[in-house]
Amino acid sequence: MPGSSRSAEWIEVSFLVPITEDAILGSGKLHDYRKWEKLQDELYVRFGGYTVAPGYHHGAYTDPDTGARVADKSVKYHVAIRRRDFAKVRSFLKNHVKMLFCQKSIYCTIGEKVIFV
Amino acid sequence: MTNQLKYYETLGGGRIQKDELSAEELQLFQKVLNYYKKDPSWQEFSDFVFKNILNELETKLSRQKIIKTSIYRICKDLESRLKIKQRVARLGNYQDILEILILDKYPSKYQFCKKFKIDEGFLSNVLHGKKSFSIDALDNILNNLGYVIEIRRKNLTSSQLETSLK
């Protein structure tokens, strides 16, 4: 396609936000409703919108610090962005979402690629 | 805020006067309220708001302006009520608000602690309700974040909130 470049391609980035704080870093409790409002306002303003996947994603992983098996329940967000803006999404997840929701890392996917931010 | 009510009260105790909404916003409010009363999942509600409210507002306003409108705040508040009812979120406390304000103004809690010469462990205990700031210390911190302590009427209980929307 004339004038187009790979960096201008639209891609879908998805990420999971557990519905509770990390039990070691935080309280293990549900998040204050204001934190979800903040996340969604930021996604809307910074990236033009988002889609919330229906239902919840149940998962389990081994905590690298304690070696304990941890089960969690997460909300999945999808955001459509230009490929060149992926660094902005990654920075947003690392510097805002991870801290706001008190998580050790955020599980993020681009296509089949998985990234722990 | 139906015909009988003069204002909409948010979960945080803020009041949005009916007069603040334009005729068009009142129509959108009625539309969103009717959908809310069907008790959808919060994800379905979020999708409904995007398709029926935000797409409409985006023909006239920027996204930065939309999030400041009363109708947007009401939609977000209704969505939060669904999240609480569906046990995905909780009504927080002052510690949650303080944490959000800190992360809004500082790159990390560490940077905040450095600025106010607060031990990071102490802040963590405060945010988890194990320790407290004195009123004077809290007042000083909030002042620097651009906020003040205010005494206001207690929030409506969940059942009162539901009743006020009928």
Instruction: Count Cβ atoms below 10 Å from residue B104 Cβ, excluding itself.
Output: 12
pLDDT over 70 percentage in chain A: 97
Half-sphere exposure of A40 (CA within 13 A, CB side): 25
Nearest to B131 by CA among B143, B120, B147, B117: B120
The DSSP element (H or E) to which A60 belongs, if any, is: strand A57-62
Q: Which residue of B has its CA nearest to A35?
A: B100
Q: Using one digit for the tens of pLDDT, what is the confidence trace for A19-44?
A: 999 988 888 999 999 999 999 999 99
Say yes or no: A44 contacts chain B, CB-CB below 8 A. yes
**Phi-psi map region of A58: left, alpha, beta (phi>0 left; psi -120 to 50 alpha):** beta
Which regions in chain B score pLDDT beneath 50?
A: 166
- What is the predicted pLDDT for the residue at A1? 47
Query: Are residues B63 and A44, on separate chains, in Cβ contact within 8 Å?
Result: yes
- Whether A77 and A17 have beta carbons less than 8 Å apart is answered as yes
Is residue B131 within 8 Å of residue B125, measured between CB atoms? yes
What pLDDT was estimated at residue B43?
97
Is residue A2's pLDDT more than 60? no
Stretch (H or E) spanning A32: strand A31-32
Assess A65–B contact: CB distance below 8 Å, yes or no.
no
Report the residue of chain A nearest B92, measured CA to CA.
A32
Write out chain B residues lying below 8 Å of A74, CB-based. none
Name every chain A residue with its beta carbon within 8 A of the beta carbon of B92: 32-34
Structure-token pair, residue B145? 């974040």
**Nearest-angstrom CA–CA distance, B148 and B154:** 17
Closest listed residue to residue B14, CA positions, set B131, B97, B122: B97
From the CA of B11, how many Å to the nearest CA of chain A? 9
| Distance in angstroms (rounded) separating the CA atoms of residues B113 and B104 | 14
Tokens, residue A30 = 């549900």
Using CB atoms, which residue from B12, B46, B89 is nearest to A52? B46
- At residue A67, the pLDDT reads 87
Q: How far apart are CA B90 and CA A45, in angstroms?
A: 24
The whole-number pLDDT of residue B161 equals 57
Predicted pLDDT at B164: 56
* Bridge partners (DSSP) listed for residue A115: A108
State the pTM of this model: 0.89
Instruction: Write the secondary structure of chain B as one string of H (helix), E (strand) and C (coil).
Output: CCCCCCEEECCCCCEEEHHHCCHHHHHHHHHHHHHHCCCCCHHHHHHHHHHHHHHHHCCCCCHHHHCCCHHHHHHHHHHHHHHHHCCCEECCCHHHHHHHHHHHHCCCHHHHHHHHCCCHHHHHHHHCCCCCCCHHHHHHHHHHHCCCCCCCCCCCCHHHHHHHCC
> Which has the closest alpha carbon to B57: B49, B18, A37, B9?
B49
Closest to B44 in 3D by CA, of A93, A70, A8, A55: A55
pLDDT of residue A83: 92
* Nearest chain B CA: its distance from A73 CA (Å): 10
CA–CA separation, B62 vs B41, rounded Å? Answer: 28
Mean pLDDT for all residues in chain A:
92
Q: Searching chain A, which residue's CA lies closest to the CA of residue B12?
A: A34
Q: Give residue B77's pLDDT.
A: 97
First-to-last CA distance in chain B? 9
